[in-house]
Structure 1
Amino acid sequence: MPIPVADPRLLSIQDYTYTLPTERIAPEPLPDRDQSRLLVYRGGHITDQTFRSLPTELPQDTLLVFNDTKVVQARLFCRKPSGGQIELFCLEPVAPHSAIELAMQQTGECVWKCLVGNGKRWKNGLILLDFTAQGQAATLTAERMEATDGYSLIKFNWQPATLPFAEVLRGAGHLPLPPYLNREDTEADAVRYQTVYAAHEGAVAAPTAGLHFSDAVVADLVAQGVAMTRVTLHVGAGTFQPVKAARMADHAMHGEPFVVQAAVLRQLLAHHPRPVVAVGTTSLRTLESLYWLGVQAASNSLLPDKLPHVLQWQPYAPGSTLPATDALQALLNYLDAQGLEALHATTQLLIAPGYRFRMIRGLLTNFHQPESTLLLLVAALLGPDWRRVYDHALSHEYRFLSYGDSSLLLPNAE
């Protein structure tokens, strides 16, 4: 067992591993979203349920927080004039807009940071992709501008130039399924690799904890009187990035943009101290990031001309004692002062053993890969019991990873 430490920078990721047999990885979704299994961990006690029972398993007066990001068809299979295929995986916009909402509405041309497949075969020149968008023939051209740190800056041009880039991706792109599925996307994935409440395009990976929700489960939650709200964090490809460093101090956490409406901040403030349960690690990271942005706002260190940002190690500096309610109120005051109805920010927050949760009391999540930052987050929430949960899931034949089963983690008994 790893020795508990106060500073996660001292952790070795090799202490957070387990053996995941290939046959435990779910290659396809179940026929019905809500028929997946649900492992319930409540104050140290584990029970086996199905996802349809979620509404009755939640603590009384729970506020469920969803991430309503929508996965974009970010993989583009282009061709060289000579006929060779080059794959471009769009990661994040660079110009003329770095904000994903604006970038998706850009017309004519844009620049994105991309991963390039078969990149050694593309020395220079344009590559092409013919597609259909809005019922008309269209063409996309791509030019590599520069390459650095394993990524390339790619300049895209397309005709008709009046098409927004969102329509280009819808017509020309493919869903970026997790690499461990090792298969091409299908028509079924176009539906099942999105949540039923997906609303805002920008993610290159699904917030998979939400894939289990059906309209019927949502209706049951309403009938049970469970409060619900939404945030938007656009999941980046870094969610699949393995931890290669010997110590976490040497691992660079990926940054992701998120948006939270002022009305949601007010709802969170009014709900305190009743329990908040995050649907997925992305919702959880967003909620906890709100606390740390509130700490910045309370100390007047959020600048109006700079996008608010949470650094990877901010929570592990000498600890803040600011109550969560004060942090939320400070954020609301900041938005009011700027005349804003939504908080736009980015986060690199790394949650690992040693972290103290301020905003949430529970987490709904799938089962994650060994030696991943997502597993570190679960270990931060459950302590050493994370291993008991995963041993139980393995011995009871739960399905793992994106299309796998679910768990409701409530570390403190009601």
Structure 2
Amino acid sequence: MSISPKQLQIKDFDYDLPDEKIAKHPLAKRDASKLLIYKNGEIKTDNFIHLSNYLPEGSLIIFNNTKVVEARLLFKKTTGTTIEIFCLEPADDYADITTAMLQHKKVLWKCLIGNAKKWKDEILVKKILHNGKEIELSVKKISRQGENFIIEFSWNDEQLSFAEILHTGGVIPLPPYMHRDADDEDKKRYQTVYAKHDGSVAAPTAGLHFTGNVFERLSAKNIQRDFVTLHVGAGTFKPVKTETIEAHEMHSEFFEVSVELIEKLINASNQNIIAVGTTSLRTLESLYWMGVKISQQSTVNGQQNITIDDITIHQWDVYELNDENISFEDALHALLEWMKANNLNKLIAKTQIIIAPPYKLKVADILITNFHQPKSTLLLLVAAVIGNDWKKVYDYALNNNFRFLSYGDSCLFFAL
């Protein structure tokens, strides 16, 4: 891919989003949200419950089954000052999020700290109740990395994992644009009905609309479904503050994919592949480019000598790699063979892929997503999928009472 989006001006991906258009609370019913359908330049409106009416029969639909963790922890100093600790991702000591979540007694985590200047070097302690038993949770600052801190969490019950500590003592981290604290409703509704693997600090919001009823309708059209796991980081809310995209550092996120899913994707190469959410899409497209890297390196190094670091997808890789002779099937076959050569039944990796115009999708044909913030990398991704018509789509939504952002309405985009 020879053209890079590095020189794109972020001001060209701006629009006026009044605060009253942002959904602050979910609808009473998940599948009652509105659905905007964009196909071949035309826009239609329906309700999400009728999603299956617009999807090709026999498609393969891919969901992100990550689970949002209660990543906000509040500690009180003896002076009464509140210190907020926001768990971003594990420290580099752990291979992946799941390993870190399953740690017992203590764990190291990268965190943001609210009121950081008022927390010196003292150990902070918080008492939490787990199944009627009082647990003492302590935090200690280890080091600083730019805006982030490495924090050591320790607790006095070796039976409990860190995931259980967060579930008991933490708070769901709602997006900052909601301007409110999480309540009991959010514990259930800021989570997809199929959420499974702890690790996200934000919901894969395109999936929030799905219900058992919607799944039944998909099954009736012989639409298969499968899952990836990408743990959504706080970087998903990070606005682009630079004039050009080149100066913006894209966030990286952990993902997990099974051998069985890759085999299913290869077998679905002649079907429509539907990504539910930008996180699923980023994962699927990353798989293709990892396969490209393996194809190009295996002739030199042999597959067993290629490491996971060799095929990690960095921000600009997909615009600098030459994939002219590598098809979707060839790339995924190369990835599958590399996994088998290395006795891997699950791929655990990080991706920093940035999808922006003029990127053309390699794996997915259709995207289901919500409406995204102005000047965001998520809006850049939408522009890559449907081109400059993103402006027409967003103007239509603003003028037709669609609800925006995480708890907002849904879009169905057929890629150009």
TM-score after normalising by structure 2:
0.96
CA distance in 1, matches of 2:139, 2:231: 24
CA distance in 2, matches of 1:98, 1:236: 16
Q: Paired residue for 2:51?
A: 54
CA distance in 2, matches of 1:93, 1:344: 14
Equivalent pairs counted in the alignment come to 408
State the secondary structure of the residue aligned to 2:80: coil
Q: Paired residue for 2:381?
A: 377
1:180 and 2:183 matched? no
Q: Paired residue for 1:313?
A: 316
Contact preservation (8 Å) 1:44, 1:411: no
CA distance in 2, matches of 1:339, 1:95: 24
State the secondary structure of the residue aligned to 1:153: strand
Contact preservation (8 Å) 2:58, 2:221: no
State the secondary structure of the residue aligned to 2:174: coil
Matches within 5 A, 1:144-223: 144-223=141-220
Q: Paired residue for 2:403?
A: 399
**Aligned match for 1:74, one of 71, 74, 98:** 71
Q: Paired residue for 1:358?
A: 362
1:262 and 2:262 matched? no
User: Runs of 5+ in structure 2 lacking a partner?
Assistant: none
CA distance in 2, matches of 1:17, 1:313: 22
Contact preservation (8 Å) 1:80, 1:126: no
Contact preservation (8 Å) 1:304, 1:338: no
Over the residues paired in the alignment, what is the CA RMSD in angstroms?
1.4
Contact preservation (8 Å) 2:205, 2:406: yes
Contact preservation (8 Å) 2:206, 2:277: yes
How far off is 1:136 after superposition?
Answer: 1.2
1:112 and 2:109 matched? yes
CA distance in 2, matches of 1:21, 1:83: 37
How far off is 1:98 after superposition?
Answer: 4.2
User: For residue 7 of structure 2, what is the amino acid of its counterpart?
Assistant: L
Q: Paired residue for 1:346?
A: 350
Contact preservation (8 Å) 2:57, 2:222: no
1:227-267 CA distance string (max 9 Å, x none): 11110000000000011111111111010010010000000
How far off is 1:96 after superposition?
Answer: 4.5
1:239 and 2:207 matched? no
1:6 and 2:3 matched? yes
How far off is 1:52 after superposition?
Answer: 0.5
How far off is 1:146 after superposition?
Answer: 1.6
How far off is 1:382 after superposition?
Answer: 0.8
How far off is 1:60 after superposition?
Answer: 3.0
How far off is 1:101 after superposition?
Answer: 0.6
Q: Paired residue for 2:223?
A: 226
User: Runs of 5+ in structure 1 lacking a partner?
Assistant: none
User: For residue 311 of structure 1, what is the amino acid of its counterpart?
Assistant: H
Contact preservation (8 Å) 1:92, 1:112: yes
Percent identity reads: 46
How far off is 1:114 after superposition?
Answer: 0.1
How far off is 1:202 after superposition?
Answer: 0.4
How far off is 1:270 after superposition?
Answer: 0.3
State the secondary structure of the residue aligned to 2:297: coil
Contact preservation (8 Å) 2:313, 2:351: yes
CA distance in 2, matches of 1:149, 1:96: 18
CA distance in 2, matches of 1:161, 1:228: 38
CA distance in 2, matches of 1:80, 1:411: 52
TM-score after normalising by structure 1:
0.96
Q: 1:167 to 1:185 in 2, by over 3 A?
A: same
